[in-house]
């Protein structure tokens, strides 16, 4: 345990509880951080923890309360480690995502057992699509930890996800399973193993994995929606769209949440269903209503893209235009999000709008230009797969049969056992044959 400046007994107990909840993604660590501040108002790390929790939600509305927590921390005496947190928070508040991640990297090199620095840094690596650091930030710290130390499961779970994003699937699954042996409620480790199974197209295994321990990862977890999304994704690839819609209504969107990270899951699932021709009724309209207040926020390109899915799905042209205008402004503003938006977020948002307008050729051109660099705007391989799925569908609708065939063959090489891949192959072969007959007749 590192020294905590200004700590009181109760304040320290509340801080440690908040950190444990954060590591398992359970209950309300923000409320515990507030309780730590109330019990130990001169603890800079309690204020820093609150700031981090607010910022990791990627919501524009959280910036001001996060800034207030940061300012409260800055005004207090602190040691060098704590000052490192405060500097990194300041960088992120100014929109410098990568600089904040680098500051935390340096902090973790000097203090490898600072669990908060490791977890926040891991999330920033995720938001900026840095797969190598998702793995290596944690790998560097692991030798300083022992299995009996509180929170060791969290390191294993984070390392598992980093290994998976670097395609080291066997080691990733082993690390994730070991983390859950130590702490069955570790929702991030549960999700890391689900990612392995998704990337390997082990959909039956994935359904069994998620359903075998629902009582461990679901109750009181603020990450539950995303894990339900993973279960629905397995069912989707198996072609069980009725179960996907049931999970969407009963688990993924049951609360009609306005939390951005949960609305992302809603958009991503409805868009996948729409690409398959599944009728989703008024679900798009309800989701677009919740995205509407954020259309002009321009806080994070990854969020913008998922808001655009809802606006396109619901036919909200004015909101789509508002989002694109906000992105145009962001691209000329300082901070990393301008670059993320310029390189990936804006072209993908334009492509989605073009898809909705039936301009499939433009959608294809835009997505082909960004698919190799899409990792730059964050998310996981599984989440960014939506770009490839949209590109395949757009190419088919645009009559670019050879391109569609190549894209499907590429996917089949990665996921040969996937039922959805086989469906794409059969559909594409039919489309190519039909196109050839029409060409010969002409």
Q: How far is CA 413 from CA 331, 409, 427, in A?
A: 37, 6, 17
- Between 333 and 427, residue with greater pLDDT: 333
pLDDT value at residue 442: 32
What CA–CA distance (Å, rounded) separates 35 from 18? 9
* Neighbour-count burial for 114-137, b at 16+ CB within 10 Å, e otherwise: bbbbbbbbbbbbbbbbbbebbbbb
pLDDT digits (tens, 9 = 90+) for 257-288: 999 999 999 999 999 999 999 999 999 999 99
Q: Band the pLDDT of 432: cuts 50, 70, 90.
A: low
Q: Band the pLDDT of 437: cuts 50, 70, 90.
A: very low
**Is the torsion defined by CA of 420, 421, 425, 428 positive or negative?**
positive
* Count of C-beta atoms within a 10 Å radius of residue 140: 15
What CA–CA distance (Å, rounded) separates 368 from 63? 34
pLDDT value at residue 439: 33
Tell whether the model's pLDDT for residue 406 goes beyond 50: yes
CA angle in degrees (0–180, nearest 5) for 351-373-271: 40
What CA–CA distance (Å, rounded) separates 307 from 264? 8
Nearest residue to 74 via CA among 40, 48, 97, 92: 48
* Count of C-beta atoms within a 10 Å radius of residue 277: 8
What CA–CA distance (Å, rounded) separates 166 from 271? 26
Tell whether the model's pLDDT for residue 9 goes beyond 90: yes
What CA–CA distance (Å, rounded) separates 328 from 104? 30
If you average pLDDT over residues 322-329, what whole number do you get? 98
* Count of C-beta atoms within a 10 Å radius of residue 388: 16
Tell whether the model's pLDDT for residue 36 goes beyond 70: yes
Crossing angle of helices 131-141 and 152-165, in 10° steps, is 150
What CA–CA distance (Å, rounded) separates 408 from 235? 20
Q: Mean pLDDT across the chain, nearest whole number?
A: 95
- 3 state SS of 221: strand
pLDDT digits (tens, 9 = 90+) for 122-131: 999 999 999 9
pLDDT value at residue 440: 36
pLDDT digits (tens, 9 = 90+) for 45-94: 999 999 999 999 999 999 999 999 999 999 999 999 999 999 999 999 99
pLDDT digits (tens, 9 = 90+) for 135-155: 999 999 999 999 999 999 999
Q: For the chain, which residues make up each domain, given as ranges?
A: 256-398
Q: Could you tell me what percent of the chain has a pLDDT over 90?
A: 93
Q: Band the pLDDT of 429: cuts 50, 70, 90.
A: low
DSSP letter at 182 equals H
pLDDT digits (tens, 9 = 90+) for 201-234: 999 999 999 999 999 999 999 999 999 999 999 9
If you average pLDDT over residues 106-129, what whole number do you get? 98
Q: Where are the alpha helices (DSSP H) in 183-282?
A: 187-199, 203-212, 214-217, 224-237, 241-247, 260-275
Output the six-digit token pair for 395.
Answer: 């190419």
What CA–CA distance (Å, rounded) separates 376 from 64? 26
């Amino acid at each position: 345990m590192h020294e905590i400046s200004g700590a009181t007994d109760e304040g320290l107990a509340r801080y440690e509880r908040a950190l444990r909840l954060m590591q398992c993604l359970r209950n309300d660590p923000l409320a515990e951080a507030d309780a730590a501040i109330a019990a130990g108002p001169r603890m800079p790390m309690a204020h820093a923890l609150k700031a981090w929790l607010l910022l990791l939600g990627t919501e524009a509305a959280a910036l001001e309360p996060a800034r207030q927590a940061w300012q409260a921390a800055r005004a207090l005496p602190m040691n060098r480690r704590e000052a490192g947190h405060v500097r990194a928070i300041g960088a992120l508040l100014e929109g410098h995502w990568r600089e904040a991640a680098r500051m935390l990297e340096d902090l973790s090199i000097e203090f490898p057992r600072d669990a908060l620095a490791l977890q926040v840094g891991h999330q920033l690596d995720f938001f900026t699509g840095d797969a190598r650091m998702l793995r290596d930030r944690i790998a560097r710290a692991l030798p300083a930890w022992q299995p009996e130390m509180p929170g060791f499961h969290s390191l294993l779970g984070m390392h598992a996800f980093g290994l998976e994003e670097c395609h080291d699937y066997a080691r990733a699954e082993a690390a994730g399973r070991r983390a859950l042996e130590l702490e069955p409620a570790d929702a991030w480790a549960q999700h890391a193993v689900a990612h392995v199974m998704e990337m390997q197209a082990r959909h039956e295994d994935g359904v069994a994995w998620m359903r075998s321990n629902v009582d461990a990862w679901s109750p009181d977890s603020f990450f539950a929606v995303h894990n339900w999304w993973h279960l629905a994704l397995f069912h989707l690839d198996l072609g069980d769209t009725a179960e996907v819609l049931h999970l969407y209504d009963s688990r993924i969107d049951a609360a009609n949440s306005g939390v951005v990270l949960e609305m992302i899951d809603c958009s991503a699932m409805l868009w996948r269903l729409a690409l398959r021709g599944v009728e989703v009724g008024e679900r798009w309209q309800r989701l677009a209503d919740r995205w509407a207040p954020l259309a002009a926020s321009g806080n994070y390109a990854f969020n913008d893209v998922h808001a655009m899915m809802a606006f396109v799905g619901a036919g909200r042209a004015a909101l789509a235009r508002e989002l694109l205008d906000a992105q145009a402004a962001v691209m000329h503003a300082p901070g990393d999000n301008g670059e993320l938006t310029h390189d990936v977020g804006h072209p993908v948002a334009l492509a989605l709008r073009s898809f909705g307008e039936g301009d499939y050729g433009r959608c294809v051109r835009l997505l082909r230009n960004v698919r190799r660099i899409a990792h730059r705007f964050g998310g996981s391989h599984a989440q960014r797969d939506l770009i490839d799925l949209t590109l395949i569908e757009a190419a088919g609708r645009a009559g670019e049969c050879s391109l569609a065939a190549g894209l499907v063959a590429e996917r089949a090489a990665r996921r040969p056992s996937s039922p959805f891949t086989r469906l794409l192959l059969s559909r594409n072969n039919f489309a190519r044959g039909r196109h050839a007959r029409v060409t010969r007749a002409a």
